[in-house]
């Protein structure tokens, strides 16, 4: 017996994509320039400064940051993109379920009337 329909087409599509979600992080990747702190490095005097990648996110209303090593930047960028996709899909499924509820309410009304 087929399972009763508990979502609509939009919900089905979003759920299918959700099942294929890859590692993600809900944060943003920012590039900034910094002095490394070594007093003998040329950045301490004239520069150029070092380009640094930071992962930033909010935790209990505080902005947290984490240093991202150069060789991991492309990978972490993928996690960030996947995190954005996840957020979008969560919103899509939520919307689909609300619409599903609304359509049930309507069809019940029209059946009675
Ligand atoms: Zn330096």
Read off the pLDDT of residues 60-94 as tens digits, 9 standing for 90 and up. 999 999 999 999 999 999 999 999 999 999 999 99
- Split at pLDDT 50, 70, 90, the class of 111 is low
Count CA atoms within 13 Å of residue 15 on its CB side: 12
For residue 49, report the distance from its CA to the centre of ligand 1, in Å.
6
- What is the number of other CB atoms lying within 10 angstroms of the CB of residue 16? 10
| Percent above pLDDT 90 for the chain | 79
Return d(Cα 62, Cα 65) in angstroms, integer: 10
For residue 28, report the distance from its CA to the centre of ligand 1, in Å.
24
DSSP string over 18-84: HHT--S--SSEEEEEEE--S-TTSGGGTT-PPEEEEEEEEEETTEEEEEEE-GGGHHHHHHHHHHHH
Angle (CA) 22-26-28 rounded to 5° is: 115
More confident residue, 113 or 57: 57
Q: What pTM was estimated for this model as a whole?
A: 0.77
Mean of the per-residue pLDDT values for the chain?
91
Say if CB 43 and CB 35 are below 8 A apart: yes
For residue 54, report the distance from its CA to the centre of ligand 1, in Å.
17
For residue 90, report the distance from its CA to the centre of ligand 1, in Å.
42
């Amino acid at each position: 017996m087929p399972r009763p329909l508990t979502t609509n087409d939009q919900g089905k599509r979003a759920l299918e994509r959700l099942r294929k979600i890859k590692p993600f992080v809900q944060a943003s990747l920012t590039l900034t320039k910094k002095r490394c702190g070594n007093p003998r490095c040329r950045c301490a005097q004239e520069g150029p400064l070092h380009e640094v990648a930071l992962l930033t996110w909010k935790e209990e209303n505080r902005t947290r940051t984490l240093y991202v090593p150069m060789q991991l930047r492309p990978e972490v960028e993928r996690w960030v993109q996947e995190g954005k996709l996840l957020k979008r899909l969560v919103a899509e499924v939520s919307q689909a379920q609300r619409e599903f509820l609304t359509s049930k309410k309507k069809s019940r009304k029209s059946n009675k009337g």
